[in-house]
Structure 1
Amino acid sequence: MSTGTTSARRIADGVFWLGGCLSAFGHGEEVHYHVNAYLVIGEQRTALVDTGDPAHRDVVLAQLDEALGGRKLDYLVPTHPEIPHAGNLPALIERHPEAVVVGETRDYHLHLPEFADRLTPLGPGASLDLGGRELVLMPAHIRDLENTTWAWDSGAGVLFVSDGFSYIHDVPAPDDEEDEPVHRPGQCRLLSGEMPEPPTVEQAAYGTGRALYWTKFVDVSDAFTAIEELLDAHPTRFIGPAHGNVIDDVDGMLRTSLAAHRAVYQNRPVGNDSL
């Protein structure tokens, strides 16, 4: 079951939070799971980072129309070709015939051969001039697929991190391992600082160990050193994960996420260190 708000949320000047939540039931109550997309609006051009889940197609299209306010969409920037991140590309490409798909699109023509002429490959370090601000493509230091790409908006200082910094809000009891625990209704469009409590290490570790299974076997300390260097070079007020509330306490969540990754690694299955 899908659910979501009908309007995008403006989180900073020229940056809108789109998408919806997937709904499930756990612990006798309804819980939700974010699937986010973000619209960045410059003086001349616009860019959509990720596309949302196909279950939210109509919601995302309506939110996008509202946030654009009559402007055209120039760039589609999926962070990688997985359904929650690129699943609405066909609908968005058809709805916005002038938009081009940019980023690490090396294999997108295999998924979308009918739109091969709309793909423009750009790697980390490339930037999109939106007019008055740039959307800079960044290496993904925590990634799901090999061609995952992060992005940073120079106008408002928002870092879009795909599956990085993801977290949930309701860690299940040991006998509920098959549940999909997430935040509760009413928390779908809150910043992390607006939540009743900030994300915990346990909440971040639960999502990390299941969504990014490789983190059980990799010490990511060096990756977080690189992330700190990235943040030093690119002042960041907000972190926009694909899954989880928008983060407004960047330093606090950096510490929480690193501790979560270390917890996942330290509790890895014995005897599988060679994987």
Structure 2
Amino acid sequence: MSGDITGTDLTEGRVIGDGVSWLGGCLSANAEGQEVHYHVSAYLVVGSRASILVDTGDPAHRDTVLAQLDQALAGRPLDFIFPTHPEIPHAGNVPTLLARYPSALLVGDIRDYALHFPEYRDRLVAKAAGEVLDLGGREFRFLPAFIRDLENTLWGHDSGAGMMFVSDGFSYIHDIPAPDDDEEPVHLPGQCRLLSSEMPVPPTVDQAAYGTGRALYWTKFVDVGKAFQGIEETLATFPTRLIGPAHGNVIDDVEGMLRTSLAAHREVYEGLAL
């Protein structure tokens, strides 16, 4: 994989940090004659002795994700699969991956996974917030999901690249539909593999609020000030230079996006968002 990429090539991933590759793809739709995209990202972290895939991508991207993994792993096995929670964009490729990598273990908050995948019951390993996997030369730490979709959502942190994986947290879009438009959060072609600092303009509060208010409906009723205090304390404890949301470009302006995301949540809570 090459770090030299314009943001348009989704057949390959992008190396975004030491031992971390940005995989997955975008779902495409037509909005009034214009093509728009919606990120469904996965991330591969590779240490000297083990590797872990954070989220699995959408089943629509199954072949793309498998090809990306083959290239990124370069003959190595995939050791751990960590769906941040059991929802299609995050866990939809679990059975395909477990079948393709017979030594891989499914890790995380695995409650109920045995009901969905009873044939893989012996490969499910529960991990709670605070537990750590030694990947060799780097640690992958499971974190509480301060902003979550489902009750058993977990976040993660890789010490090697200084990257936090935040599932549905810190999502944002790039073009906000009109107030009466119910389309999914979108961004334009050519922006699919760009870091936030590589975008034409930095993410705005309105862009973050639009996606937050629709994807995480509960945020309309909850003041998340305490959650962001927890995020700030975690960032102070574990140095972080990149944030990897499942639905949005990888963030390399951590402090700036922290302020933007908090303001967006407040806008949603106060009923000011579109």
- In structure 1, distance between residues paired with 2:117 and 2:200: 42
In the alignment, which of 114, 135, 140 is matched to residue 130 of structure 1?
135
Whichever residue aligns with residue 236 of structure 1, its letter is T
Structure 1 residue 128, shift from structure 2 partner: 0.7
Distance in 2, Cα, partners of 1:180 & 1:139: 27
Q: Confirm or deny: 8 A CA contact 2:185 2:211 kept in the other structure.
A: no
Match among 107, 114, 123 for residue 112 of structure 2: 107
1:188 aligns with 2:188: no
Q: Deviations over 1:150-198 (max 9, x none)?
A: 000010100000000001111111232x222411001100000000011
Which runs of structure 2 are paired with 1:21-36 in the superposition (5 Å)?
21-36=26-41
Question: Which residue number in structure 1 is paired with residue 3 of structure 2?
Answer: none
Deviations 1:100-135 (A, max 9, x none): 001100111122122111100010011110000010
Identity %: 71
Separation of aligned partners in 2, 1:56 and 1:163 = 18
Q: 2:100 maps to what in 1? A: 95
Contact kept? 1:140, 1:148, Cα under 8 Å: yes
Which 4+ stretches in 1 moved above 3 angstroms? Answer: none
Q: What residue number does 1:215 align with?
A: 219
Query: 1:163 is matched with which residue: 165, 168, 183?
Result: 168
RMSD: 1.3
Alignment match, 1:273: none
Give unpaired runs (5+ residues) of structure 2: 1-7
Unaligned 5+ segments in structure 1 are 270-275
Correspondence for 2:269: 265
Q: Secondary structure at the match of 2:99?
A: helix
Query: 2:141 matched to 1:141?
Result: no
Does residue 81 of structure 2 align to residue 37 of structure 1?
no
Q: Secondary structure at the match of 2:53?
A: strand
- The correspondence of residues 75-90 of structure 1 with structure 2, limited to 5 A, is 75-90=80-95
1:212-247 deviation line (CA, Å, top 9, x unaligned):
000000000010011000000000010000000000
TM-score normalized by structure 1?
Answer: 0.95
What TM-score results when the alignment is normalised by the length of structure 2? 0.95
SS at match of 1:175: coil
1:187 partner SS: coil
Structure 1 position 28, deviation (Å): 2.8
3-state SS in 1 of match to 2:38 = strand
Are the equivalent residues in 2 in contact too, given 1:34–1:244 (CA < 8 A)? yes
Q: 1:8, 1:63 within 8 Å by CA — same for their partners in 2?
A: yes
Distance apart, 1:268 and its partner CA: 7.6
- Number of aligned residue pairs: 266
